[in-house]
Amino acid sequence: MLRFVITSIITMLTSTLLAQGVVNVNSQNSDKMIVRIAEIEVHPQYLAEYLEFANEVDRLSVEREPGVICLFPMQSADNPTQIRILEIYASDAAYQAHLKTDHFLKYKQGTLHMVKSLNLPTMQPLDEETMKLIFKKK
C-alpha cells in the first residue's frame, strides 16, 4: 500500500513540474528530473538522533535549493527504523549541487554510523498529467 501511495505522489508531482515547465521531457538527460525513494534502515539506538538530522536536511534543502523540488521523509508505522524519503530534483545538476551543500554534508557525515542499510533506486513516473493537481514549487 505504501509503495502505491508513494508512486501516486511521484506521478502527480512529475505532472505538475512538467506542466509548469520546470521539467522538459525533450531536454537532454542532464536536464531530466531525478526522482528517487531513499530506502534507509537505521540502527535502533540511533533512531531519535537520525530523525533530527533527516528532518533538518530535508527542510533546509527544500527551503534553500530551488532545484530541490521535494524531500519528503516518512517512517514506517510498523517498523520505525525503516525510513523512506521521496526525493525529487529538477535536474541532475540540481542533485549534484545538493550533494555539495553544507547541510547535506553535515547530514551525510553525521549519520554514517547510524545507517544500517541504504538503497537509492531511481524511479520513473507513471502518470505525468495528474501531478499538476497537487504540487507547485516556484
**87 alpha carbon, distance to own chain's centre:** 1
Contact 128, 11 (CB under 8 A): yes
* Residue 66, SS3 per DSSP: coil
Position 24 scores a pLDDT of 43
Helix, strand, coil percentages in the chain from 3-state DSSP, rounded to 5: 45, 20, 30
User: What is this structure's pTM?
Assistant: 0.73
Q: What does each of the 138 residues of the chain score in pLDDT, given as a tens digit? A: 555 555 455 545 554 444 444 444 434 445 678 889 999 999 999 999 999 999 999 999 999 999 898 899 999 999 999 999 999 888 899 999 999 999 999 999 999 999 999 999 988 777 656 654 555 554
Contact 12, 130 (CB under 8 A): yes
